[in-house]
Every structure is written in C-alpha cells, then in structure tokens.
Structure 1
C-alpha cells in the first residue's frame, strides 16, 4: 500500500479501537502506518496496549472498530492471507514440550499451507544456533533455547512481517546479541520487523522509527534520529576550580544549576541547538572571574525521552 507521500506501508491501522466486555477500553482510535522494510520499535509502560495492538494486527484478538491491513490484506475479512504474511514471536513460551525441535518448526510451516522445505528449515535452525538441538525434545531445552525455537517457528513460513513481543525478556546477553544480529539480517532481506522491548537501549540501537503508546493511545511516532534531536537534552557540566556558594546574579538568566556542593555548574540546553550557547556561557564565566578545570557533556538517552513522554499529562 503506497501512501500519499510515496512511502510504502506494509501495515496500515486506521481508527482502531478495542473495548473489552468488561468496559475496559484498551485501545483508543489508533492510526499507525509501518513502512515496508523498517525496524519499528513500539514502546510503552506495562498495560499501555502494546500486546493488544499486536494481537489485533496478527488476528488473535478482534477489534471493536477500525480497519487493519497487513501487506494489503484486511486482517478480519481476509484473515488467512493476512496471517500468512505475518510471523509472531509472543512473550510467552508455548509449544509442544514432547515434540522435537525439527518436528515443531516443520509442523509450524505446514500450518500455513507451505510445502515441505527441509533446506529452509535447516538454514533457519543453523542461523539460530539450533541445528545441534534439532532432535532434542522441547522440554529438554533451556529457556534461551526455547526462545530460539519460538523465533524459528515464526520464520518457518517465510513471513514478510515479523512481530517480536519482548523477544529478549529473560534471555542471556549472548542470545540477545545473536538475536539482534539475526534481526539485522532479516531486515536486509526485506522483512519488516516490529518489536516491543523493555530494554530501551535495544530500541535505541536497532530501530529506524519509534512509536510510543500510553493508556491505549499512540502519543508519538517519529524517526529515531529526529526524535533524539527534537526531544533530547544536552547537559554541559563545568567542573570548577573553586566551589561556589551560590550562582552570581549575572548568571541568573542562564539555564544553570549548582551541583556537587557547588563544585560543578550544570548547563542544560536543547540537543538540536547549536553550541554557541556554550561559548557564550564560558565567556560569561570568565567575566565573573569563575575558573574551571574540566568540561563534560552528556545527551539524554532514548530512555530519558521515553520516561518524560509517558509521565507528561495526557
């Protein structure tokens, strides 16, 4: 589906609302386009609606209102065609404990009506470091290995869209690293990847765009680099030669604060602003006879931005 700006959307969500029988409104008028071939990170606190949104797009939960298209197929009216395009790695580990790795991944491919392809299944298992476990029963695997099997199942029918719902929750550092290497390779092959994660540094490293959902509403969708520039803050910490008891009156208009018992001056400014403010500040310090011995700059992380967004009044 090509939008008016010429960008191809592989997932289009328009006017999506979900209200459960209890009266709880989990999603409120969600509009969202996900671009073909991107890595899209969906962030939000617990209970924000992330899993509900993914479940509706994947056809697991029915929407109350709205239209959702997956690679051009309506997920309600054309469920089978839409679902064939989608691979899902859910948060929970659930698969037949008594089956072997090879059998469960092969069976998953067959569920989508795909013909047998042993070479493909072998490649998927090798890519996920599961080949030497192919004859092992699922019940005998570690938690990390079971997570790899869930990913292998999701990839077995060659989806063009892959949802990863908290894929690295509770896994070791090595598996997390392997998984993100696999995600990069999938994106290079043209697969669109949508992930939710509690490890916001992963989204900061991996994602092309960031969406933030809170209380059932999408409050922001932005290119990651633009978001970091637009909402990020920089801090310049000036380590003074001699502590100050208070800020001089001449510096009261600057975005300055004292820290470390007056030993440091902290200057906060917008990340997208140029650095002329720093030069001006240092000149003003010199005019006040304030000497410094070192400077340090820090920029807000995606986690800082995320926390500020979800805490802001809605």
Structure 2
C-alpha cells in the first residue's frame, strides 16, 4: 500500500470510524478525484497531505468517502417490527407521560426518518394527545441539505414508497416528488458525527442506527454502541441493519424475541454480570 493510502486510512478511522480496507483502494480515486480537482490540487498525494491542516478539505474528504445508500422503508422488517412490536409496547409504558423520542442516526438523505414519520401518521389515532419527536442526524451537511428539503426523484420514491403513501404524503413537482409539510414538520435534522459526543441530543426511546456500524472498525463500533446505550432509555429499543450484529462488540443489548434486528437493553445487573463484575 502507498503512504498516501495508509495516511488516508488513519485519517478516516480517526475522523469518522470508517475502516478502509486495502481492497477498497479503487474507491478512493473514484470518490476523491472530484474533491482534489475542485480544490485545485495536483492529485491524491497533495490532497491527503493537506487534510490534517485544512478543516474544510478534511470535511469534504470525509463526506466523499461516507456511504450514503438509503431508500424509503429499506428492508421493511425493521419498520414492521417498529409498528407491530415497539410502538405498542411504548404506548403502554409511556401512557402516563405520553411522550416518545426517536432518533434516526446516520439518516443520509432523510428517507429513513420520513418513513418513520409516515408510520406515526398512520397510527395517529392511537397517538392522540402524545408528543412524539423524531431527531435525525448525519455526518455530511450535503446530504442533510437534501434531507431537509425533502424533494426526491421519481427513481428515489419508486424505491420503497407504496403507491398509497406516495399519493398521501408527497406532492408532484414536475419530475420530482416533495414530502408534504405535515411529515417534514415531524423531523428535526442535526449534523452529527457518531465518533463525536452525541449526548447533547438527549435520551431516546428508540434509536435507528442501521447500515452504518458495519463500516466501522471494531474498537470504534464498540465505542459507539456503548454510547448509544447511554442515550437509550432503560426499556428502549435499538434498531440495526439486516447485516449487523452486536455480538462480539457489546454486551449491553439483547435481541428482541420476535424481531432479529431490534434490540433491547440488558438490565444493569445483567450487563455487569456479563462483564465479569459480579
């Protein structure tokens, strides 16, 4: 491996938790060529040499190398699990306060939090009198800008949006579709690097953190899971991606009995026992 690639590996691991395998070297040139050209630099060597001292350039490199693949109701199972298992339990356990907070971490261009908002709107009768907050975050300001605008191409809405939802929750704008204001108003977007302190966002009853930790190195993945647990209510739920697992990375969660990608927190005593503390 070249010194440039090794330096880039180290930078991405520290800045975003991304573990860049040597097999992914082909991605580097494809994604970073537009960045160094826009900056007027001679090539990757000069780009990587400058990212430690140029914060703006470092941010652009991180955003370019971050995976932003997403679509509405992606994988279906987590959303059905949220509707069928998580929501009914929270309606019972939060009946006194009638408050619920949900976080869509690494939300990319917004399809996940808007999918959650559509489910909540469909369940509006059961949530009468409730205050439900949806926070959504991503490391990249560029994708957050699109998420806040809530405007998607025909191809993007075709990927996951059922026709009844399209007619009910979107407005046609020439060759694009805009999320209606009722759904947009349910989501508050934040710029947030999962490698940084996210405790400022507060406590949540449900955290969707899907298809992002799979790209993290072991140590960074364990650290993020530990801090996610601290931001999750003791009886809250963590929702992971279909290919993700906490096995070998965290002992603070256990699988939901009916939905594999939905996790609950272990009791404090059980976690301490698994750590060998009792």
TM-score of the superposed pair, with normalisation by structure 2: 0.30
TM-score of the superposed pair, with normalisation by structure 1: 0.27
Larger Rg: 1
Q: Which structure dedicates a bigger proportion of its chain to helix? A: 2
